[in-house]
Amino acid sequence: MANGSEVLIEENIIVGSTVSGSSRPRTYSMADQLFKNVTRFFAFLVLLLMAAIIVSLFMGALPAIRKFGIGFIGSATWNPVTNVFGGLVPIVGTLVTSTIALLIAVPVSFGIAMFLTEMCPARLKRPLGTTIELLAGIPSIIYGMWGLFVFAPVFSQHAEPWIDAHLGRLPLIGLFFSGPPIGIGIMTAGLILSIMVIPFIAAVIRDVFEVVPPLLKESAYGLGATTWEVTRYIVLPYARVGVVGGIMLGLGRAIGETMAVTFVIGNSHSLHASLLMPGNSIASTLANEFTEAVGRIYTASLIELGLFLFIITFIVLALAKLLLIRLSRMEGKRS
């Protein structure tokens, strides 16, 4: 009898575990399907929002598109009195100021990240890293006020005369560095933008550098590699996706920046070859003139500028993605 009862107990245990085991996968399957559907909804919601933004911008800009056509891009005329508008000046100003900002910010950010991750003493790593993150939280209007009242006067008195005297007289490139020392202009806006985007790029690059496995770096150091060689051949290939992402984050901040650029760019609808002369950008044009836009064509022209700003950002991100794909293929061919 004892043996029979033991067999029944074992059968009940086996049956119970089988039933509970069969019910648990069903519960997990329902939860997985629910989670999958929720995440899919959020993903398509983002696509719908992007499509809605594009459609709304296109519909708002349609009167200007019909009137000016493709000539809107190549025209430097901006005359609200005669309702003749062209987007060449703000488009060029946006591209040039963002390029200047990246040319300055990327090397500086790379040096900051390299110092914090490879050479900084332990007692200074946390304070310096926190300071960089705090700089990213400063409002843009503060940068603009500082640029207008502090940086621009110093730049016009000490830097611009030297630039005009030494670089402005050089052949070919002298045309880009000649002009009166007025302090505000394309170059000033680019410098302010570089100061603004450095914390963003440096923080992201520092974080992706810290993700690199220490074993890889220690192995390279053990083989006699220098800090620069370790960074170039070990850290950068491992973290290139994050590095490019940080640079694109800074570029997006520079392209879409409004208030800081509005303070120091000069807000002039005139096209000059010199970087020291005043100019305009898409964001500053929208900030200055949208509230004063009277008439459908005027408003549509401003909305068309916003559409071009969206297109420029999309093209830059697409080119960055293509660059990453090409680098991955090249690395696969090398291996």
If you write DSSP's letter for every residue of 133-199 in order, what string do you get? HHHHTS-HHHHHHHIIIIIHHHIIIIIHHHHHHHTTTSTTGGGGG-S---S-SHHHHHHHHHHHHHH
Q: Which residues contact 312 (CB under 8 A, 6 or more apart)?
A: 91, 94, 95, 255
Q: Where are the domains of the chain?
A: 1-62, 69-334
Contact present, 110 and 103 (Cβ < 8 Å):
no
Q: Which residues in the chain come in under a pLDDT of 70?
A: 1-28, 327, 330-335
Q: What residues have CB less than 8 Å from 291, skipping those under 6 apart?
A: none
Q: Residue 228: what pLDDT?
A: 87
Class of domain 69-334: mainly alpha
The span from the first CA to the last CA of the chain, in angstroms, equals 71
d(CA 177, CA 184): 13
- Could you say which DSSP state residue 290 is in? G
Task: Give the pLDDT of residue 186.
Answer: 94
Place of tokens 């000046």: 89
Which residues are CB-contacts of 126 (< 8 A; sequence separation ≥ 6)?
none
Q: Is the dihedral of CA 79, 82, 88, 91 positive or negative?
A: positive
pLDDT score for 194: 94
Query: What are residue 168's phi and psi, to 5 degrees?
Result: -70, -15
Mind listing the pLDDT tens digit for each residue in 195-212?
A: 999 999 998 899 888 888
